[in-house]
Structure 1
């Protein structure tokens, strides 16, 4: 039975950290609104305003993956505290300099990038710490509540910023960002994180490469990310151009802009809380298509909306379609990810998510500047509708019955040498004997084997036929170091990988014979004498 949507709130640490993240995120969203509004009346507003979104989201594309690696290597609570102190200092400087009139566009973009860098470091760290705060049965509910927090902040932050700007101007909005960041820092300082057992950590650069390698060699993950990016590229125009919609199309001041932003956030929160019943009746592919078509239609209507009364409900629909797509993409992605690479793959998802927006925002700004706001909005709406149809080609496979849980099924290598963990590269050579009748079926099964080896850490894979014995085939795959191969043995293989091997080995005569080819400089003898070759490496 699934957990109650609010069950994670029973856990004190999760509740207070969730509240702190919401409050801090409200300040971050308010900062972006203040930055956009600061130059909304500038002659170059069509270029400057979208660049604020780029400066805010580009750090996620650059820093999310390194942040995911660091979150595994250091104490996550301490890391979050350092990040929040940094954000508070940056936001305070931004407020002071803006109040003194010392904030030209270039400096504003630099400060916005600096605040975004803090958010880019915080997001993967917070995502990875959630699993420490609630039991496994409540992981899904906690993830949905985290999505609610994002959208509550997205709705409340701009609305609050609009009121503050209308009453006191832009500098207090930046000061508010510093105050809200301080709240999360205080909560983190008060939290006494339980002692976490210290385990062997991957080195920084190898961990970066292995996470990227997994995504590159897993076609399902690539499909999800590509379909997601195809939607985000045009749909992100709603966030980039909303200040111009408010000021130029609807003639609204800052408070009106905040209300429009709140309408988007309201639709997003409704989607985050209400997707459960909808997904019981629609497949993920159908939901992505319906959400894309609905968003595109509402966005086209927004381009023609003459008043706030018409624009607000259309933005609610846009917010619903946006979050329905984002939530479906991330939930499907997590179902296809094994545990060992989940944080890094989610970091890559965040890079695609916000990096696509960062790239697209200035392009929509340029189109607005040269073709007009309405033309840009209608173009974006049309492309969103087209993206919904890509589901015909980019279909997300059904995840039902898929098993990506860790399964250490390879035998322990029995070697006459004892390689150091840093020794490498290491090549694993596996010899197969085949009857002619099974050759074609074996060869047809090997592409899946190649994907399995490469996504678990191998850098190269080859299959050879022995010239001196036509019934003999040799598979070879290389890993950067002995430590990487040990991780393949211990944590990186899944039941799906075993099924792939079993399917190929079914056509083999006798037992496969494995050899580990070590660097020639490896000289340390093993403490025990090898007694044979394992059938699996």
Structure 2
């Protein structure tokens, strides 16, 4: 049996057969539960400190500023030093910051200014952690099991949203608010232990260049590598056109399109979270040869779901379309993330994953301003339809070009450069560009 055939028959949960990934995944899942508890508790604290919607939005988005500014430099750190140790440092800093937050809340001296400073520090630590966390996956499993690892990571993230939100609500009902921050600090301890006991297979290449030069090298590599550039571009289109609806504008949709209540919003959000969870789980069963096809098909699925949402006034139907859209997002991001991991050379993987994190986390709050302006001008229904087309058409063009290049290389025809799609056809990763 060929290597491609073996990769195509890899079970959905195959990454869990690797001890180091299994240990890391368990620790990361517990940590994610604490993260979602903090999201609920932090939002509740903001609502107590200020009644201004503008101020609440500012506090909510301030953590993205250091992520945009520092993520590439943190990618250099992830490429220059052992990623496991970089994550260890970040987890210790998370614990210290959470305990500081608990002390501030317990003292009842929290102000908007202090919250902004706290969230700026949180964003800086998240910037240090994210590139190393994403790049570490490729060091814990062989390439043929990377899709399983990516999908399991995404599934754990969305499952922890449901668990963490419920635990936060239960804790707030019986304990003071500062216990949310203490619980968040405790949630990092299992991951710290897991990082101490795992032994990743590979270590990054050591570099002696200055950080600024290394950042420039990462940007130059991402632009010159056609496959990396294409995948990051597709991620950017999803971030700009689709994620604002699933992360920011559900309340407006419920109020304007459905004339619904807070209960309808909760049901719609839960349906979306469940759809995303199922999407990542479904991607783990995608054959190696089918990853590009899944990315293409999920783009059409997302666009159709957005159009369906824009046309319905039924709350039940809307929940179905919201789950379908989130399912498509889970499939697409799973495919794009896996292919991006395989495309990036090991010595630059941290910087490439840092760029993807900037696109998925940093751009969405900024693009929400543009999408919000469209909603104010044309209404949420027409803006959804336009966003679906703006995502579907360019993504389809980009990925079809990759597929054609893959087929040319697969038949021996001359291609302009290494093509990521050929990895999906052969199942063999490329370490250099």
- Pick the TM interval, shorter chain: 0.7 to 0.9
CA gap 1:194/1:221 in 2 versus in 1, 3 angstroms: closer
Deviations 1:355-401 (A, max 9, x none): 21131245556777xx49x9357524532343212345444411636
| Aligned counterpart in structure 2 of residue 205 of structure 1, from 212, 216, 231 | 212
Give the match for residue 297 of structure 2.
Answer: 287
| Aligned counterpart in structure 2 of residue 315 of structure 1, from 314, 322, 330 | 322
CA gap 1:365/1:110 in 2 versus in 1, 3 angstroms: farther
Structure 1 CA distance, aligned partners of 2:365 and 2:323? 23
State the TM-score, normalized to the length of structure 1: 0.64
| Aligned counterpart in structure 2 of residue 216 of structure 1, from 223, 226, 229 | 223
Give the match for residue 175 of structure 1.
Answer: 182
Give the match for residue 355 of structure 2.
Answer: 348
Deviations 1:489-527 (A, max 9, x none): xx9965xxxxxxxxxxxxxxxxxxxxxxxxxxxxxxxxx
Structure 1 CA distance, aligned partners of 2:254 and 2:44? 11
Structure 2 CA distance, aligned partners of 1:258 and 1:29? 15
Give the match for residue 271 of structure 2.
Answer: 263
Shift of 1:83: 0.7
| Aligned counterpart in structure 2 of residue 240 of structure 1, from 243, 248, 256 | 248
Give the match for residue 117 of structure 2.
Answer: 110
Q: What secondary structure, in the 3-state scheme, does the structure 1 residue paired with 2:394 have? A: helix
Shift of 1:100: 3.6
Give the match for residue 393 of structure 2.
Answer: 389
Structure 1 CA distance, aligned partners of 2:296 and 2:82? 41
Q: What secondary structure, in the 3-state scheme, does the structure 1 residue paired with 2:108 have? A: coil
Structure 1 CA distance, aligned partners of 2:69 and 2:229? 19
Contact map agreement 1:76 1:125 (CA 8 A) in 2: yes
Deviations 1:13-46 (A, max 9, x none): 221211111111222233223323444585422x
Structure 2 CA distance, aligned partners of 1:123 and 1:16? 18
Shift of 1:267: 0.8
Shift of 1:293: 1.1
- The gaps in structure 2 that reach 5 residues or longer are 1-5, 420-429
Contact map agreement 1:23 1:183 (CA 8 A) in 2: yes
Q: What secondary structure, in the 3-state scheme, does the structure 2 residue paired with 1:193 have? A: coil
Shift of 1:184: 1.4
| Aligned counterpart in structure 2 of residue 73 of structure 1, from 67, 73, 80 | 80
The equivalences for 1:394-433 within 5 A come to 394-396=398-400, 397-398=402-403, 400=406
Structure 1 CA distance, aligned partners of 2:299 and 2:25? 31
Shift of 1:202: 4.4
Shift of 1:220: 4.0
Structure 1 CA distance, aligned partners of 2:56 and 2:308? 23
Give the match for residue 13 of structure 1.
Answer: 20
The higher relative CO (CA closer than 8 Å, separation ≥ 6) is in 2
| Aligned counterpart in structure 2 of residue 226 of structure 1, from 230, 233, 243 | 233
CA gap 1:219/1:400 in 2 versus in 1, 3 angstroms: closer
Structure 2 CA distance, aligned partners of 1:389 and 1:176? 44
Shift of 1:260: 4.9
Contact map agreement 2:87 2:129 (CA 8 A) in 1: yes
Structure 1 CA distance, aligned partners of 2:192 and 2:408? 40
Deviations 1:338-366 (A, max 9, x none): 44433322221211111211312455567
- 1:34 and 2:44 aligned: no
Deviations 1:468-504 (A, max 9, x none): xxxxxxxxxxxxxxxxxxxxxxx9965xxxxxxxxxx
- 1:101 and 2:101 aligned: no
Shift of 1:299: 4.5
Contact map agreement 1:51 1:362 (CA 8 A) in 2: no
Structure 2 CA distance, aligned partners of 1:86 and 1:268? 30
State the TM-score, normalized to the length of structure 2: 0.78
Aligned residue pairs, count? 404
| Aligned counterpart in structure 1 of residue 97 of structure 2, from 90, 95, 109 | 90
CA gap 1:366/1:390 in 2 versus in 1, 3 angstroms: closer
The equivalences for 1:424-503 within 5 A come to 494=433
Structure 2 CA distance, aligned partners of 1:394 and 1:143? 22
Contact map agreement 1:65 1:348 (CA 8 A) in 2: yes
Higher helix proportion (structure 1 or 2): 2
Shift of 1:182: 2.4
Contact map agreement 1:24 1:180 (CA 8 A) in 2: yes
Deviations 1:442-489 (A, max 9, x none): xxx9x969x99xxxxxxxxxxxxxxxxxxxxxxxxxxxxxxxxxxxxx
